[in-house]
Structure 1
């Protein structure tokens, strides 16, 4: 085994970001029409090393990644630079403290949001997690099936609150949230919690980097009305990712055709949503109704 491979220990549980890097390297190899055996020979190694890199069991240095890009005839410098950044980021994120406590999908979501250049979300029956108050989030988790213990609920609430830090850092992540009126009218936790939640959304929507767009009931039909969508914009379009919440957990999509489909879906949802000002007016009217005025 080469000195470089000796310096990079094999991983037992790669993160979603590490898996994505391996996927992109496999795609580059396949576009070049090379087998893993041929790719190994060009790199001066073997098929097993290429397979381990693509499966994210083995890390890859910037020099080796550039050599792979040359061998695969990839001249997209922006993509190569983004892949090198992905490979170089070995520092443990804050979400790793939850590794033995929360489902892996929640950790993958936090990692995805943390590294995204911009985020677009669409929710029908729930308030987006990045805009939830602790009181609202706590009530959501109390309804989980199977029931969560009080400590488990608090772990999930604290994780959700820490995810929101990307909206407050020195260079906050641009964030667009499309929220249906149904979600805005849900009274999770009762009128007081609901009022506090809606006021928080109004306050957050005043930030320049946050756009909240409401779809009113009278907007009629629109695509993907039955699911929530998170579209995480990568440093280059090839590294965009879609995250979906399903009954069996979080699902990450990154195939080019899937990304294009969800870009279109979100564009169409924004087209039927109210403007930012009218969205705030709708939220204000719901708050007034909760106050009985």
Structure 2
């Protein structure tokens, strides 16, 4: 079978991990190829996610690379065996490869931390708001309904029977931009409060009064993997999206998120009664903006 031309994020990530392990072991591509009775080109294709490696050969390679037995070792084997299929397959005719990869990553992560400066995060959007965002960002014509359907289906990760911990820092600007109009925004802000009261959801608002911050114009998502080595940073740009899996970037964005969280208002407390909000916090700001609409 010829090498695939468009590997999935999961396939690319497995290849990246194998490259990191090989480099840590001090093995050249030629030496690694010899372990598989193959050449450097095959190793290059495996590490780019273009070629799969069978379970027994992958296990042997991991041992030769010095990967110790444990959770990380087993997760790499599971990644290789994962067929990569899911509910998102029904949208392959409309959605981009990166959007499908994002849905697959959300389905297998163990936690999500997101910073969003301009829009309400997709996981927290109402249908009306999602429709307005899709129209505003260029989704026109018949596929628009499918884009919205896909976006809402992704929320199952947050609202399904086995939800993942979710922590969002949203800039006040996202609450004040009238995306879809006044009625849509009022319903969206009510939805924010509703979801923020879920025990696995942490929502913080970054207010204008805290001033500018280096990250405030950069949306990003941190996905916790099944082991820390498999954490991922997701960056979305107008022309392309990027999945980062190296430790340096993960540490950098992790520290950035902690700083944003520390500067933002206190999160919505699901146990607190409305009259308990005598100081400015995230829920009082959401309510203030909502009542002013």
TM-score when normalising by structure 2: 0.91
- How far residue 97 of structure 1 moved from its aligned partner, in angstroms, is 2.2
Q: Which runs of 5+ in 2 are unaligned?
A: 269-280
Q: 1:82 aligns with which of 75, 89, 114?
A: 75
Matched length:
281
What displacement does 1:150 show? Answer: 3.0
1:244 maps onto 2:235 in alignment: yes
C-alpha displacement at 1:153, in angstroms? Answer: 1.4
Q: Tell me, yes or no, if the aligned pair for 1:43 and 1:67 is still in contact at 8 Å.
A: no
Q: For the aligned residues, what is the CA RMSD?
A: 1.7
Inter-partner Cα distance in structure 1 for 2:290 and 2:69 = 50
Task: Kindly state the Cα deviation for residue 286 of structure 1 after the two structures are TM-superposed.
Answer: 1.3
- Contact residue 69 and residue 80 of structure 1 kept, 8 A: yes
2:98 corresponds to 1:95: no
How far the C-alpha of 1:140 sits from its partner, in A, is 1.1
Q: Which of 138, 151, 157 pairs up with 2:142?
A: 151
Residue deviations 1:121-178 (CA, integer Å, cap 9, x gap)? 0011111011111110111111224xx3332211110110011110122221110010
TM-score (ref. length: structure 1) = 0.91
Alignment match, 2:120: 127
> Offset of 1:9 from its aligned partner?
7.7
Q: In 1, are the aligned partners of 2:171 and 2:216 still within 8 Å (CA)?
A: no
Q: Which runs of 5+ in 1 are unaligned?
A: 1-7
Partner of 1:15: 8
| Alpha-carbon separation, structure 1, partners of 2:153 and 2:292 | 31
The answer to whether the 8 A contact 2:94-2:147 is kept is no
User: Superposed, which structure 2 residues align to 1:133-212 within 5 Å?
Assistant: 133-145=126-138, 148-212=139-203
Q: After the TM superposition, which parts of structure 1 deviate over 3 Å for at least 4 consecutive aligned residues?
A: 8-12, 43-49
Residues 1:91 and 1:74: Cα distance change in structure 2 (over 3 Å): closer
Distance in 2 between residues matched to 1:76 and 1:257, nearest whole Å: 24
Distance in 1, matches of 2:31 and 2:116, equals 46
Matched, 1:112 2:112: no
Greater shift in the superposed pair: 257-266 or 277-286: 277-286
1:230 counterpart SS class: strand
